[in-house]
Structure 1
Amino acid sequence: MKKVEVIKGGNLLSDRNQGREINLKRVAAYCRVSTDSEDQLQSYRSQVRYYTDLINGNSDWTMAGIYADESITGTQVDKRINFQRLINDCMNGDIDMIITKSISRFARNTLDTLKYVRKLKKMNVAVFFEEENINTLTMDGELLLVILSSVAQQEVENISANVKKGLKMKMQRGELVGFQGCLGYDYDPMDKSISVNKEEAEIIRYIFKRYLEGAGGSVICRELENLGYKTPRGKSKWSATTVLGIIKNEKYKGDILMGKTFTVDPISKRRLDNFGEEDKFYIKEHHEAIISAEDFDKAQEIRLKRAINRNTVPSKNGKREKYSGKYAFSSLLECGFCGANLSRRTWHSKTEYNKIIWQCVVGTKKGKKYCPESKGVEEEAIEKAFVESYRQLCSNNQDVVEEFLLRIEKVLNDGSIEKDIKKLDNEISSLLAKQNSLVDLRLENKIDEKIYKDKYLSLQNKYLEKSKEKENLEFNLKNENNIKKRMKEFKDMLEKNEVLKEFDRFVFESIVEKVIVGEIDENNNVDPYKLTFVYKTGFKDNLDGSKFKAPRKNESEKHKKDGEESSKLCSHTNDEVNKLYSYSSDNTR
């Protein structure tokens, strides 16, 4: 048997990357506090002093630096700048060992703890946890680390659950939680009282007033900027999101809703809007209102109608429904020259000559040169023209009327919304059951944490999507009985062949697909006042909108006489049209 010579190890740790011996171990310390309270900051300063003295007092060590994060949570390492700097220095070979007080100071997430410990272990960098007396380079270090870091994570989850419970108890007692003030109100953090800020309250009243008048978020933004009003954050530039956030804020009618959002878990700290997953707490008449409850409710009705019709739903083949806004013609008037919608505007609003007109949005927003042929058409003229078109339709097109009757009968017998809601209820129940099963699998350690989180998030997103869809359908169903009642009245009117005496928004929206305003005929003649009513049966009716214009309020006597003479030559005069019905514009306001 051949003799084996043993070459004993005893060299000092070598810096392999730099090819030179290190006689002193380069030691860095990491310390952290999670809040900015005075006690925590004092603890933070004590940790820094302690580790400075500890490292400098050991003759075998040399100071590699003190890395400290102040007022930073331990559950998310990506937010700890100095922690990331520490890891980078270790990967560059500048540090041999890290000392920290405990596992919870290093990281409160088991996965993060193991990830970084293993990463450092590959670089031969030890992490020493003082309280637990664990050195990660020893044989049993990782096993203990897994157990103790799991305990640290569980501690975080327990603390989070206790904090949540405490906050809910405060909300239940009527104490304000999480409120830091909002535009229109001053907040006193000492006694937690809310009082009206008179100057800012005028901004809130203006926003609600314009919204109730039919203006959208973008329009109100421009007006606020032109008036020089500042946003809640003191900026000059307004966004539609800010305006709509004000519109749906219940605080402006004097109420308080707490629990609008919730934290999914204490590790990711991801926050979601609360759609019923957690309790909410509502307090009525909590403080002085800026907006009346009636006006606030009207604003929510408009907002919800607009929101519903922005959604794409499978039952509509992914197509957006026609937007039914405050006004009968919203999104139903189409420019005959460029194809854009027409928007409602008021001319001479603060004078006795005011009138409502509809104009092409391309011309008004981009400039007249982008749609030069279009002109403003009076709302009253469109209403009168429709009444005349409807009279002619009922008199001369019985086949079209019969098709309308068949359509109405089909709508009255339709119960698709109830079926869709029932189907969604089943789908939501199925998703909740899958979520519960997934939780059970995780508790039994049958799936790992990453797969669990990915699948749970996917199910949660589907649940929120289906819940929102159900909410939209229930809103539609709530109004369905009133709609069916009106449709039955309309059906009776059609069967009796009754003439429409005044403009009726419900009739208009029931039978008209759109109105094309303006036309260039085959001889290239431009007529900006031509109105083409496109009915839902496909029938089209053309009328000259200029014949239905109201007389000018400041018209001279000479022009009136000239108008009377010229009116004798017209087939449809204002007087003749007015004999057919008594006009009332209140239906569209």
Structure 2
Amino acid sequence: MAQAQKQVRIIEPLERFVNRINLVGCYARVSSDSEDQLNSYNNQVDFYESYINSLENSKLVKIYTDEGITGTRMDKRDGFLQMIEDCRKGLINRIITKSISRFARNITETLSVVRELKSIGVSVYFMTEKIDTAKMGSEMMLAVYAACAEIESKAISNAQKWAFRTRAKEGRYNQPKLPYGYQRIDGEVKVIEEEAKIVEDIFNKYVNKDFSVTKLVDYLNKHYFKKKKWSQSTVSSMLKNERYCGDMLLQKRYSPDVFPYKLVTNKGELAQYYVYDVFPKIIDRELFEKANEKLVNNKLKFNKNQTDGNREYLLTSKIKCEHCGGTFKRRVLRNKEYWSCSNHVTSAKKCEVKMIETDEIEDAFLKIFYKLKENIHVLEAYKKHIVNFTTNDDDKCELDLVNRELKKVSSSINTLVRYYQKDLISLEDYKKKHNELLVDKSVFEMQKCKLNEKIYQRFEVIQTQIIIECLESMKEITALDEEIFNTLVDSIEVGTLDIQFTLKNDLKLKVERKQF
């Protein structure tokens, strides 16, 4: 019996979707504030206006721009963030940009943004790479190009750092932001005479009139409030700024080799270069040195004379009262060192927690140290628990997806090798497909690395690993070691019955107090 032919009726897509007007937002960016780069930016804006007008069913809504802001950090680009927000509001449904490197130089952020936009019906077209996220299969190609853009950004950053450090060694450096009292005219740094007089007044008052920084701030806000808003941090920074005496200390801050290359203070990780007589000076070096000598002496005097926070003692500000929350203060009675709740010292009725001897705290810490050392496996389990507990569902799903894709790619590579060994495919086809699979594998491995870095860089996980490494590196201790104590312990809480140690990873451990 002949089988009846199936009837199929085609339901055509609605006209409003077939002929949908693309509400286009264009994104333009340059990575430098130089004049040439700003010209590039203006050229991009002109290009997009004419390009969109030439497209069918496309209407230019807005050109979003960021001038002179790095592409490695999305949170630093106001124009980019505004564009994404307008996509969420439905104001635009299509983004056109010159290239992936203009869009972002970070593979994680690129894929994250593109996926979000795709989920709300917004497509992105990268002109240089000819990638359109509205078309199937473009996300994998996007990942490859984004990875290349990230590598390019890192190479540029390394080249810039090398150039800066080379100039620093030779004592050459073009200061991008000038201190108060200076301006740049035709590329040359010049002194602003009116502001220079205020700078001289600050140093003279501080050194020769024995003004404190606080008194200086009051004086400046009274006499020069129209020129600038003065604060203690501003005045202190000016007093420490060697440029006022004509010198320059180079590489005060540096960019580590970790994305997104955020500047951090150089605390001795890298060499610094002190260059003499290379800046227009406002004061002489002798006055500058006297000012800094006074700053150092005042700081030492302040630390020495502190009564509520004496930094000479390891346990200062570390111990809190379990009963009333008060801070424990150091006391010496009959040549023995104790720590007592400040409220208990004032009145025993305010707090019932009695003082505790330093030796007892030391013994309790040693118990905690050896208990942890004997149970490092518990810390490892605790670290794993933190990862599982704090990792959000999106990260878990993405990591699972990447692992599955990696498994598929590895399986495909093995299958391809078997096909070639059995002469089922030609050498030319084998090489072509093998290279494609290797690219896919490298992209997924990079995504996995980024996700793992994101998951395992959580504060508690890092601190737990630091504690584990500290315990493993120390064989035994017999006294309260300052370095180990500061590595392990965040705070101590003393009660009537127990001493509780809160570790740097927020783990809390108790030791019973001695009872008399």
State if a TM-score over 0.5 links the two structures.
yes
Deviation, 1:293, is 3.4
Name the residue aligned to 1:220.
216
Deviation, 1:147, is 1.3
| Equivalent residue for 2:40, pick from 35, 39, 43 | 43
Q: In the alignment, is the contact (CA less than 8 A) between 1:76 and 1:268 conserved in 2? A: yes
Give deviations 1:173-205, integer Å, cap 9, x for gaps: 112343644356777774557799455313212
Deviation, 1:239, is 1.8
Deviation, 1:73, is 2.5
Alignment map for 1:135-174 (pairs within 5 Å): 135-174=132-171
1:297 aligns with 2:293: yes
Name the residue aligned to 1:585.
none
Name the residue aligned to 1:204.
203
Alignment map for 1:173-212 (pairs within 5 Å): 173-178=170-175, 180-183=177-180, 190-192=187-189, 197-198=196-197, 200-210=199-209
Cα distance change of structure 1 residues 170 and 95 upon mapping to structure 2, 3 Å threshold: same
Deviation, 1:267, is 4.7
Give the residue type in structure 1 aligned to 2:165.
K
Give the residue type in structure 1 aligned to 2:99.
S
Q: In the alignment, is the contact (CA less than 8 A) between 2:182 and 2:189 conserved in 1? A: no
1:315 aligns with 2:307: no
Give the residue type in structure 1 aligned to 2:240.
K
Name the residue aligned to 1:306.
302
Name the residue aligned to 1:257.
249
Deviation, 1:128, is 1.2
Deviation, 1:269, is 4.9
Name the residue aligned to 1:238.
230
Alignment map for 1:53-202 (pairs within 5 Å): 53-178=50-175, 180-183=177-180, 190-192=187-189, 197-198=196-197, 200-202=199-201
Name the residue aligned to 1:449.
453
Cα distance change of structure 1 residues 450 and 225 upon mapping to structure 2, 3 Å threshold: same
Name the residue aligned to 1:247.
239
Within 1, Cα distance between the matches of 2:156 and 2:310? 40
Deviation, 1:59, is 2.9
Deviation, 1:113, is 0.9
Within 2, Cα distance between the matches of 1:163 and 1:304? 38
Give the residue type in structure 1 aligned to 2:138.
G
Within 2, Cα distance between the matches of 1:82 and 1:458? 34
Structure 2 unmatched ranges of 5 or more: 320-333, 338-361, 363-444, 471-481, 487-516
Deviation, 1:446, is 9.0
Name the residue aligned to 2:7.
5
Q: In the alignment, is the contact (CA less than 8 A) between 1:253 and 1:293 conserved in 2? A: no
Cα distance change of structure 1 residues 4 and 30 upon mapping to structure 2, 3 Å threshold: farther
Alignment map for 1:286-365 (pairs within 5 Å): 288-289=284-285, 291=287, 293-294=289-290, 296-306=292-302, 312=311, 315-318=314-317
Q: In the alignment, is the contact (CA less than 8 A) between 2:19 and 2:57 conserved in 1? A: no
Q: In the alignment, is the contact (CA less than 8 A) between 2:203 and 2:291 conserved in 1? A: no
Q: In the alignment, is the contact (CA less than 8 A) between 2:108 and 2:450 conserved in 1? A: no
Deviation, 1:167, is 0.9
Structure 1 unmatched ranges of 5 or more: 16-20, 321-402, 408-415, 417-440, 474-589
Within 1, Cα distance between the matches of 2:248 and 2:294? 18
Give the residue type in structure 1 aligned to 2:105.
R
Q: Secondary structure of the equivalent of 1:291?
A: helix
Deviation, 1:143, is 0.8
Give deviations 1:518-554, integer Å, cap 9, x for gaps: xxxxxxxxxxxxxxxxxxxxxxxxxxxxxxxxxxxxx
Give the residue type in structure 2 aligned to 1:282.
Y
Q: Which moved more, 1:299-308 or 1:73-82?
A: 299-308
Within 2, Cα distance between the matches of 1:176 and 1:261? 14
Within 1, Cα distance between the matches of 2:123 and 2:448? 33
Q: In the alignment, is the contact (CA less than 8 A) between 1:75 and 1:268 conserved in 2? A: yes
Q: Secondary structure of the equivalent of 2:8?
A: coil
Q: Secondary structure of the equivalent of 2:42?
A: helix
CA RMSD of aligned residues (A): 4.2
Within 1, Cα distance between the matches of 2:260 and 2:51? 34
Deviation, 1:65, is 3.5
Give deviations 1:442-461, integer Å, cap 9, x for gaps: 999396231354459966xx
Alignment map for 1:469-480 (pairs within 5 Å): none
Give the residue type in structure 1 aligned to 2:254.
F
Cα distance change of structure 1 residues 83 and 229 upon mapping to structure 2, 3 Å threshold: closer
Within 1, Cα distance between the matches of 2:270 and 2:454? 24
Name the residue aligned to 1:576.
none
Q: Which moved more, 1:143-152 or 1:22-31?
A: 22-31
Within 2, Cα distance between the matches of 1:89 and 1:81? 12
Q: In the alignment, is the contact (CA less than 8 A) between 1:109 and 1:152 conserved in 2? A: yes
Give deviations 1:285-304, integer Å, cap 9, x for gaps: 65542616355334323324
Within 1, Cα distance between the matches of 2:59 and 2:132? 18
Alignment map for 1:376-387 (pairs within 5 Å): none
Cα distance change of structure 1 residues 311 and 154 upon mapping to structure 2, 3 Å threshold: farther
Give deviations 1:221-260, integer Å, cap 9, x for gaps: 223434x1459xx32x432222322333344555431211
Q: In the alignment, is the contact (CA less than 8 A) between 1:217 and 1:241 conserved in 2? A: no
Name the residue aligned to 1:324.
none
Q: In the alignment, is the contact (CA less than 8 A) between 1:12 and 1:23 conserved in 2? A: no
Q: Secondary structure of the equivalent of 1:315?
A: coil
Give the residue type in structure 1 aligned to 2:455.
I
Larger Rg: 1
Q: In the alignment, is the contact (CA less than 8 A) between 1:201 and 1:290 conserved in 2? A: no
Give the residue type in structure 2 aligned to 1:315.
L
Q: In the alignment, is the contact (CA less than 8 A) between 2:183 and 2:189 conserved in 1? A: no
Give the residue type in structure 1 aligned to 2:452.
D
Give the residue type in structure 1 aligned to 2:275.
I
Give the residue type in structure 1 aligned to 2:201.
E
Q: Secondary structure of the equivalent of 1:445?
A: helix
Q: In the alignment, is the contact (CA less than 8 A) between 1:442 and 1:448 conserved in 2? A: no
Name the residue aligned to 2:22.
25
Cα distance change of structure 1 residues 99 and 448 upon mapping to structure 2, 3 Å threshold: same
Q: In the alignment, is the contact (CA less than 8 A) between 1:28 and 1:97 conserved in 2? A: yes
Give deviations 1:93-123, integer Å, cap 9, x for gaps: 3433222111111111212211111011112
Give the residue type in structure 2 aligned to 1:204.
F
Within 2, Cα distance between the matches of 1:252 and 1:87? 44
Give deviations 1:18-48, integer Å, cap 9, x for gaps: xxx7444333322222333332222222222
Within 2, Cα distance between the matches of 1:225 and 1:67? 40
Within 2, Cα distance between the matches of 1:174 and 1:87? 44
Within 1, Cα distance between the matches of 2:460 and 2:145? 26
Give the residue type in structure 2 aligned to 1:222.
D
TM-score, with length taken from structure 1: 0.49
Q: In the alignment, is the contact (CA less than 8 A) between 1:184 and 1:201 conserved in 2? A: no
Within 2, Cα distance between the matches of 1:304 and 1:177? 35
Give the residue type in structure 2 aligned to 1:291.
L
